[in-house]
């Protein structure tokens, strides 16, 4: 049926709403999607074009059911903390020193954090994703029930963005989850946090490195990153079983240093009321506990996985140390 819609599209798109024939070719869920996003200002012809041209990609569903974050930490970290990525990161930092310094001045986010994010996300543009964004978001929004509500909204946001930016729907490529550009922004984040950091009138996170740097920094600033404040530190635990109920659940940090101390956590002299406790498998059957601070939580607003946040943090410190060497 979708092929039929494509053939009929030029005639069907003349009106301000979907023709009866075109609407009848859509599923009930797709028709509701059209109604919802037309009400939010997305042109009906754009909505019809997107749904007519989109196709389910089973490989996308396969990919999202096997995320890298499902690996144990001691395997996951090896994907990102490599000498090759470190060399690429220092080269990127040197090439974009001015933009990174400007972003720090404007947003208060240290260069090593921005460089680490772009390095972990796309290896400095080498791996920005090859999936058609519409296909990715359509597949997950209409054929992946566990997260269909989220991805259906992201498809709507993408169409808002495409309308705003004047994009052709087959132009933008991204990850299997619809993340785009050097910093892998999902559409809602692109709309909310992308900035025109070079003043050329466009927010281009695909090919404009300065815009990408400014946008990552803006994202962190808007999620309450605090420059110079602690992120995480290894701590010892007297009784892992006693401390287990206090392990961080991904929500806002809420434990005090006193509560953690009472549970047998050596908080290393830290006095605060917004802390978390994290346990990562640093080797097979070997666990290390970490105290996590609000800045660690800020990193998880970019990707909710604590493994991701730890990889970004440790990589950022490797970058900072490498750049400090003469």
Which residue of the set 30, 110, 121, 154 is catalytic?
121
Over 80: is that where the pLDDT of 299 sits? Answer: yes
How far is residue 77's CA from residue 121's CA, in Å, rounded to a whole number?
13
Q: How confident is the model at residue 24 (pLDDT cuts 50, 70, 90)?
A: low
Q: Where are the alpha helices (DSSP H) in the chain?
A: 2-12, 20-24, 28-39, 44-53, 58-64, 73-76, 83-95, 97-107, 111-122, 133-143, 148-165, 187-193, 209-222, 240-243, 257-262, 294-300, 306-324
Average per-residue pLDDT for the chain: 91
Over 70: is that where the pLDDT of 309 sits? Answer: yes
Mean pLDDT of the region 287-309: 97
Task: For 65-96, write each residue's pLDDT tens digit.
Answer: 887 677 899 999 999 999 999 999 999 999 99
Over 80: is that where the pLDDT of 6 sits? Answer: no
Specify whether the CB–CB gap between 120 and 312 falls below 8 A: yes
* pLDDT score of 26: 86
* CA nearest neighbour of 207 among 137, 131, 122, 319: 122
Complete DSSP assignment for 188-224: HHHHHH---TT-SS---TTT-HHHHHHHHHHHHHHTT
> Can you read off the two tokens belonging to residue 229?
């404040």
* pLDDT score of 153: 98
* pLDDT score of 70: 75
Task: For 142-188, write each residue's pLDDT tens digit.
Answer: 999 999 999 999 999 999 999 999 999 998 999 999 999 999 999 99
Task: For 123-153, write each residue's pLDDT tens digit.
Answer: 999 999 999 999 999 999 999 999 999 999 9
Over 60: is that where the pLDDT of 18 sits? Answer: no
Q: How confident is the model at residue 14 (pLDDT cuts 50, 70, 90)?
A: very low
Domain extents for the chain?
1-52, 232-292
Task: For 201-246, write each residue's pLDDT tens digit.
Answer: 999 999 999 999 999 999 999 999 999 999 999 999 999 999 999 9
Q: HSE-up of 304 (CA within 13 Å, CB side)? A: 7
* pLDDT score of 94: 98
* pLDDT score of 61: 95
* pLDDT score of 12: 34
* pLDDT score of 20: 44
Over 70: is that where the pLDDT of 7 sits? Answer: no
How far is residue 74's CA from residue 280's CA, in Å, rounded to a whole number?
8
Task: For 236-277, write each residue's pLDDT tens digit.
Answer: 999 999 999 999 999 999 999 999 999 999 998 899 999 999
Q: Is 121 a catalytic residue?
A: yes
Sign of the torsion formed by the C-alpha atoms of 105, 110, 112 and 114 = negative
Query: What phi, psi does 180 have (nearest 5°)?
Result: -130, 150
* DSSP letter, residue 289: E
């Amino acid at each position: 049926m979708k092929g039929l819609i494509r053939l009929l599209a030029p005639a069907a798109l003349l009106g301000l709403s979907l023709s009866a024939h075109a609407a009848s070719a859509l599923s009930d869920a797709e028709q509701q999607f059209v109604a919802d996003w037309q009400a939010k200002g997305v042109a009906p012809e754009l909505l019809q074009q997107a749904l007519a041209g989109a196709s389910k990609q089973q490989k996308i569903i396969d990919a999202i059911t096997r995320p890298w974050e499902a690996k144990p930490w001691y395997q996951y970290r090896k994907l990102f903390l490599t000498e090759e990525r470190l060399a690429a990161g220092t080269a990127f930092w040197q090439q974009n020193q001015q933009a990174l310094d400007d972003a720090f001045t404007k947003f208060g986010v240290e260069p090593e954090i921005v460089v680490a994010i772009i390095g972990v996300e796309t290896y400095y543009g080498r791996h920005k994703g090859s999936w058609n964004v519409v296909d990715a978001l359509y597949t997950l929004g209409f054929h992946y029930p566990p997260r269909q509500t989220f991805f259906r909204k992201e498809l709507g946001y993408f169409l808002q963005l495409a309308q705003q930016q004047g994009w052709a729907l087959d132009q933008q490529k991204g990850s299997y989850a619809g993340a785009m550009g050097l910093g892998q922004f999902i559409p809602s984040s692109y709309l909310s946090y992308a900035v025109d950091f070079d003043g050329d009138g466009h927010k281009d996170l695909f090919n404009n490195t300065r815009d990408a740097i400014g946008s990552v920094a803006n994202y962190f600033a808007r999620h309450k990153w605090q420059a110079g404040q602690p992120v995480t530190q290894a701590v010892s635990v007297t009784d892992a079983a006693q401390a287990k109920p206090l392990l961080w659940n991904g929500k806002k940090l809420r434990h005090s240093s006193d509560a953690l101390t009472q549970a047998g956590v050596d908080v290393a002299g830290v006095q605060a009321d917004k802390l978390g406790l994290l346990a990562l498998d640093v080797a097979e059957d070997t666990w290390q506990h970490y105290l996590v601070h609000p800045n660690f939580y800020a990193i998880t607003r970019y990707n909710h996985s604590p493994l991701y946040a730890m990889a970004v943090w440790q990589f950022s410190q490797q970058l900072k140390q490498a750049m400090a060497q003469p």
